[in-house]
């Protein structure tokens, strides 16, 4: 008779290998119907396509949960160095949209659902909402970090804000951009799991008192950060990491006294103000309240995340919430924190505040730990894109952090310039990318995208034409204006000599303008106006078409990037830190026309400059022109 397993025996069995999946397609069908009936309380007579999507999502989620739990158990047992990163995630992390190779035994169901369940997989994928967590290259890289680390089996957490309304939906009315709310959570999110037991209080305002035992931040306003976890599966392995998103909640005792004595409206307004922190992505900061809300958002995610990281560092293995680690000497050996751009930069003073004020470490030791723990990547080199905050705003909202920033700055200046020659060393090197190239060619993607455009917008394009694509955030430095000038030039050439042979070209420009960026909105209006002229000219016909791709987002990128023939990467040299769309287009087989800017430089070095269409000034030329002036 075998003896019962001890806790130690069970822990030794923890592994992320060898987890069995569903035995057969029949089991998955059974789970699908179970969720349809018992989770959604529907049957085939009344179920909608969204109900089928939700049932399938819950079925796939069940398939992930065992791996998710086992991964966390494995991390607690092995206690590896853990990576954490902030980002505005420009991706929905759509599990149903993943290639069927991710799922192994479930491939027959997910790849060919029509004969198995009578459902159209592509229709179900279209129902899945893009998560409103961010946009652009910054969010795309954050999502790529999570995907890659899960695939490599690295212990990692992603952190962000669970925005109730994400990046706005863009509608073009009369040629102008109109912003509409992106209520991506209105039907619920089947992939997330609330974790109220790990709710963290985040403090704002107040004042600083200095005593014999150090500084104390007192008389603060408290907002609760409620975490929601989403699984992030690796590719062809059993690793499932976690994306933890914070939602702002007012404390339970929100001005209850005022409420009870008749101040109902003010009490409710105060509660709404607290929860506005996670209400919307990118509030307009052209006015003071918008700036304050943005700064609140940035500190909210930083404070909640760092307290969560410190809690896990101090906790025992196997999920115990009792502190066991007292010393922070090993903190940099167990934790690596990646700061994605300037938005989470308050992590530096916040980690210093935790170490100095709460853990009572000396300044030099705390600074050494902070420097060895945090890494930073910038995503632009434009001075105006590097965030600046009014001193009086920081002083009011985060008084202790402003004191720490002053101290950090003073010590840096003392080392750099005080008392003799100082050397400030900065380091940066080329980043190697290990990417498996999967080239997607042929006409299939172009035909599919042309059919999609006709279906959703009624616009007919010739799939045999050259698909010339520029999709990115609308900004002056990205030079959509230069593309417009090229379109006008092509149009004038056709009008001048209509009988001359001309390669048919469909030019597509897409992207969103920040709500408060008037010039970017004017650029969108210019593109649509040019399109109206070109597309309605019978002398041009199908030889030149101009389209503005409305509401550019992750799910639209998944369609247009594989269909592109030519990728426009034409920012002014020296303005783009890297860019990510250029790499995605190249990996999907598009030719690149562009300047020697951002990652175009590395792409030219790796692929050979002769394999890209490079034009325009180099960085030294641009700098020389800036010094001389355009009118010189």
Catalytic residues: 379, 472-473, 478, 580, 584
Rg over alpha carbons for the chain, rounded to the nearest Å, is 27
The three-point CA angle 127-128-130 to 5° equals 125
DSSP H helical segments within 325-422, as ranges?
Answer: 331-334, 347-353, 363-373, 391-397, 399-417
With beta carbons less than 8 A apart as the criterion, state whether 344 and 297 touch.
no
Q: Which residues pair with 201 in a beta bridge?
A: 224
What b/e readout covers 356-366, taking b as 16+ CB neighbours within 10 angstroms?
bbebebeeeeb
DSSP notation for 27-49 = HHHHHHHHIIIIIS---TTT--H
Contacts of 344 (CB under 8 A, 6+ apart): 86, 298, 301, 302, 305
The beta strands (E) that lie in 167-283 are given as 169-173, 176-180, 193-194, 200-204, 207-211, 214-218, 221-233, 240-249
DSSP notation for 296-323 = HHHHHHHHHHHHHHHHHHHBPSTT--SB
**CA–CA separation, 59 vs 28, rounded Å?**
7
**CA–CA separation, 98 vs 110, rounded Å?**
10
Tokens at 529, concatenated: 């106006």
- Helical axes 518-535 vs 480-496, angle rounded to 10°: 20
Tokens at 255, concatenated: 């001005």
Q: Dihedrals φ, ψ of 269, to 5°?
A: -60, -40
591-594/613-614 β-pairing: parallel
**CA–CA separation, 339 vs 373, rounded Å?**
11
* Residue from 469, 461, 480, 571 nearest 527 by CA: 480
Contacts of 119 (CB under 8 A, 6+ apart): 52, 56, 113
**CA–CA separation, 471 vs 567, rounded Å?**
9
Q: Which residues pair with 160 in a beta bridge?
A: 245
**CA–CA separation, 578 vs 574, rounded Å?**
10
Residue 228, Cβ density class (10 Å: 0-12 exposed, 13-18 middle, ≥19 buried): middle
Q: Which residues pair with 170 in a beta bridge?
A: 179
Reported as half-sphere exposure (CB side, CA atoms, 13 A), residue 501 has a value of 0
**CA–CA separation, 386 vs 392, rounded Å?**
19
**CA–CA separation, 133 vs 159, rounded Å?**
11
């Amino acid at each position: 008779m075998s003896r019962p397993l001890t806790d130690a025996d069970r822990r030794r069995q923890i592994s992320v290998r060898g987890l069995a999946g569903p035995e057969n397609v029949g089991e998955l069908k059974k789970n699908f119907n179970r969720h349809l009936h018992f989770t959604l309380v529907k049957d085939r007579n009344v179920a909608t396509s969204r109900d089928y999507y939700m049932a399938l999502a819950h079925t796939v989620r069940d398939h992930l949960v065992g791996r998710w739990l086992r991964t966390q158990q494995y991390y607690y047992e092995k206690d590896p160095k853990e990576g954490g990163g902030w980002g505005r995630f420009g991706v929905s992390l759509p599990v149903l949209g993943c290639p069927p190779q991710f799922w192994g035994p479930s491939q027959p169901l997910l790849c060919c659902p029509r004969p198995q369940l009578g459902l159209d997989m592509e229709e179900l994928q279209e129902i899945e909402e893009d998560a409103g967590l961010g946009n652009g290259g910054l969010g795309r890289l954050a999502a790529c970090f999570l995907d890659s680390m899960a695939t490599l089996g690295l212990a990692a957490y992603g952190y962000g804000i669970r925005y109730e309304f994400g990046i706005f939906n863009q509608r073009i009315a009369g040629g102008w951009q109109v912003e509409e709310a992106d209520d991506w959570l209105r039907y619920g999110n089947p992939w997330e799991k609330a974790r109220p037991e790990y709710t963290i209080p985040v403090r704002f305002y107040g004042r600083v008192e200095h005593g014999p035992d150090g500084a104390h931040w007192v008389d603060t306003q408290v907002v609760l950060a409620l975490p929601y976890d989403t699984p992030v599966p690796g590719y062809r392995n059993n690793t499932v990491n976690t994306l933890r998103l914070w939602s702002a909640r007012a404390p339970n005792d929100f001005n209850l006294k005022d409420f009870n004595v008749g101040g109902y409206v003010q009490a409710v307004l105060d509660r709404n103000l607290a929860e506005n922190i996670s209400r919307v992505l990118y509030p307009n900061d052209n006015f003071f309240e918008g700036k304050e809300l943005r700064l609140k958002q940035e500190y909210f995610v930083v404070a909640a995340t760092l307290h969560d990281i410190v809690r896990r560092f101090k906790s025992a293995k196997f999920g115990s919430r009792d502190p066991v680690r007292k010393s922070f000497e090993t903190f940099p050996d167990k934790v690596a924190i990646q700061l994605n751009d300037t938005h989470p930069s308050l992590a530096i003073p916040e980690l210093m505040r935790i170490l100095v004020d709460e853990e009572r470490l000396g300044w030099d030791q705390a600074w050494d730990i902070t420097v060895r723990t945090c890494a930073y990547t910038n995503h632009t080199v434009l001075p105006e894109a590097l965030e600046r905050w009014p001193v009086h705003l920081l002083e009011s909202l985060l008084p202790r952090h402003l004191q720490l920033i002053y101290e950090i700055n003073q010590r840096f200046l003392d080392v750099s310039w005080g008392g003799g020659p100082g050397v400030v060393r900065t380091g940066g090197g080329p980043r190697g990318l290990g990417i498996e190239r999967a080239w997607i060619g042929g006409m299939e993607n172009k035909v599919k995208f042309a059919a999609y455009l006709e279906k959703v917008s009624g616009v007919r394009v010739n799939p045999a034409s050259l698909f010339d694509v520029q999709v990115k955030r609308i900004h002056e430095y990205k030079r959509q204006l230069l593309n417009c000038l090229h379109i006008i030039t092509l149009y004038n050439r056709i009008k001048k000599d209509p009988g001359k042979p001309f390669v048919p070209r469909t030019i597509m420009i897409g992207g969103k303008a920040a709500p408060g960026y008037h010039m970017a909105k004017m650029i969108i209006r210019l593109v649509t106006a040019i399109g109206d002229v070109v597309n309605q000219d019978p002398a041009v016909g199908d030889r030149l078409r101009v389209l503005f791709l409305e509401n550019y987002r992750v799910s639209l990128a998944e369609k247009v990037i594989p269909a592109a023939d030519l990728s426009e990467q034409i920012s002014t040299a020296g303005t783009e830190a890297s860019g990510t769309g250029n790499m995605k287009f190249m990996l999907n087989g598009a030719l690149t026309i562009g300047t020697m800017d951002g990652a175009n430089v590395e792409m030219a070095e790796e692929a050979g400059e002769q394999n890209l269409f490079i034009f325009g000034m180099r960085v030294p030329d641009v700098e020389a022109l800036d010094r001389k002036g355009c009118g010189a």
